[in-house]
Amino acid sequence: MKPIEKIEKENIWNIKFSKKEVLLDKDDIKKRWVDLYRAQALGNLLQNKVNLTFESDNESIYQVYTTVWAVGQDFITLKGGVYLPVNSILEVN
């Protein structure tokens, strides 16, 4: 597995993302949606943060510890108005 680089959410603006889906298994994709909606509920109700692990267009792996404010069809919104494409997210913890 590739090394995971921890970053601050403010630095996500500097990362380029691919349009490809990073998860290949349909069950993994379903789990990601469940985890994202759970993270949104925790963020909005309790201001809890989660670890989001995601992949850039050059296949580097990053992890950010932040609050998920909104989950959309193609993007999620993090605290501070930062957007992250759903198809780039590998894991939500």
Q: Which of 78, 72, 75 is nearest to 49 (CA)?
A: 78
- pTM confidence score: 0.94
43 and 15 in contact (C-beta within 8 Å)? no
Band of pLDDT at residue 32, cut at 50, 70 and 90? very high
What mean pLDDT is predicted for residues 79-92? Answer: 95
Q: How does pLDDT run across 50-84, given as a tens digit for each residue?
A: 999 999 999 999 999 999 999 999 999 998 899 99
Band of pLDDT at residue 86, cut at 50, 70 and 90? very high
Residue 1: what pLDDT?
Answer: 64
Question: In degrees rounded to 5, what are phi and psi of residue 37?
Answer: -70, -35
Domain ranges of the chain: 4-12+20-92
